Amino acid sequence: DPCRNFHCKRGKVCHVDKHGKAGCVCQDPAACPSTKDYERVCGTDNKTYAGTCQLFGTKCRLEGTKMGRQLHLDYMGACKYIPHCTDYEVDQFPLRMRDWLKNILMQYYERDMNTSRFLTEKQRSKVKKIYQNDKRLVAGDHAVELLLHDFEKNYHMYVYPVHWQFHQLDQHPVDRLLTHSELAPLRASLVPMEHCITRFFHECDGDRDKLIALKEWCHCFGIKE
């Protein structure tokens, strides 16, 4: 089977032509496997798709058109009303995000105690110092004032989680710059819960080059140079 080890990018599938040569063609959205309700996704065209297969298959078929260039995964779940993000809310967003990233690392560290190995040894040694600090906040829905106080008092505990998340996203390629597609996995999962994330990332791009550099990322999260 010429398609056995033939890789196609998202939205395309392997197809063998009449000469027996493998190539990539656009996925027929109608031929995508059936999905569950919780696998629905919302596109940037504000249309609900049955799953990512259907979304990227549609995007592929629109390749070369303005609609195709503008169509991306907006967020996980069916399309719904996303409220406008106010200036006050976007200012408070880094407080919640920093706390969330810190608590994710705490959870990974606790799971690694049972040899799950979510983290590398180097990551574990860094997170261990944060984990053992008895001043850390217990995960929860904390008031803005408390999050701000904890950030100022225990600043060092928040630096690594912010750096860690950047490098988790910076993969294709690893160049200390985040593209729209590299940000997409984090953004798509958070939009339904954090409606300010789109505006936050847009404003993080200080030089408006459609890339978020490590320096811009840290500045947005209040991390000093």
The C-alpha torsion from 107 through 109 and 115 to 117, rounded to 10°, is 90
Minimal CA–CA distance to 53: which of 24, 22, 26?
Answer: 26
Q: Which amino acid is at 98?
A: R
What are 116-139's pLDDT values in tens digits?
A: 788 888 898 889 888 887 566 777
Q: Which CATH architecture has domain 87-221?
A: Orthogonal Bundle (1.10)
Write down the pLDDT at residue 135.
62
Is there a common fold for 12-76 and 87-221? no
Going residue by residue through the chain (225 aa), what tens digit of pLDDT does each one get?
Answer: 889 889 999 999 999 998 889 999 999 999 999 999 889 999 999 999 999 999 999 999 999 999 999 999 999 999 999 899 999 999 999 999 999 999 899 889 888 887 778 888 889 888 988 888 756 677 777 888 988 988 998 898 899 999 999 999 999 899 999 998 899 889 998 998 899 999 999 999 999 999 999 999 999 999 987
Environment class of residue 5 by beta-carbon count within 10 Å: exposed (0-12), middle (13-18) or buried (19+)?
A: exposed
- Work out the number of other CB atoms within 10 angstroms of the CB of residue 117: 11
Which CATH number does 12-76 carry? 3.30.60.30
Domain extent listing, the chain: 12-76, 87-221
* Global model pTM greater than 0.95: no
